[in-house]
Chain A
Amino acid sequence: KNEVEQSPQNLTAQEGEFITINCSYSVGISALHWLQQHPGGGIVSLFMLSSGKKKHGRLIATINIQEKHSSLHITASHPRDSAVYICAAPFSNSGGSNYKLTFGKGTLLTVNP
């Protein structure tokens, strides 16, 4: 079964702390998405990565294709980082370009001042 597992489900941190959110998936994929959703707000795509590491400001995403594992890191966390972070993997239905995007349950991050 094609699955995406995220951990932790909930995370509370103090401002300035280093945050790590983990995502594991069951089968090989072409690329993994990291998304951010603020309460009552829309979804923003943070990263789409197929190998190695990507960095955008204080956010860093890494992926290990062999281990089928990705991490999202936030350095020097800030209260405005409080949001739900979701990873998503495109599992192929029948090979080729057909796929079904499958989402993790999300990690609710709360950063306190």
Chain B
Amino acid sequence: KAGVTQTPRYLIKTRGQQVTLSCSPISGHRSVSWYQQTPGQGLQFLFEYFSETQRNKGNFPGRFSGRQFSNSRSEMNVSTLELGDSALYLCASRQGVDSPLHFGNGTRLTVT
């Protein structure tokens, strides 16, 4: 089975722009969750989608949004980028709430 695929691997954007990141889960997994990792804050939970519905949300501003499609693929969007949004963005998929998480390799976003 293919693992969780995140695209692109690297992105460089300018402050004020917006960005969309993509995550394809493992086949059969209906849950996709997103995380931000920075040296200062560590790993932080952004949100989780299950069957196209956002089930849980972390403490991030409304500039961070996401969606999940009927094939379980998910996208995360960040609008009006700030320098502090520079981070590694990871997504993870799982079969259900009682299942372990499977992480992608992440998208490294640099905002200049």
Contacts and interface: CB of A to CB of B under 8 A. Distances in A.
Contacts, number: 53
Residue of A43, A48, A100 ringed by the most chain B CB atoms within 10 A: A43
B26 to A, nearest CB: 12
Secondary structure at the B interface, as helix, strand, loop or mixed, is strand
Interface string B35-58: 100000011110010000001111
User: What band does the interface of chain B fall in when counting residues whose beta carbon is under 8 Å from A?
Assistant: 20 to 34
B90 interface: yes
A5 B101 CA distance: 20
Nearest to B45: A101
Given A33-B100, A43-B90, A45-B101, A100 B43 contact: no
Interface residues of A, number: 23
28 contacts: A31-B98, A35-B101, A35-B103, A42-B103, A42-B105, A42-B106, A43-B92, A45-B100, A45-B101, A45-B102, A45-B103, A48-B99, A48-B100, A48-B101, A86-B42, A93-B56, A97-B97, A98-B55, A99-B56, A100-B45, A100-B56, A100-B57, A101-B45, A101-B58, A103-B45, A104-B42, A106-B42, A106-B43
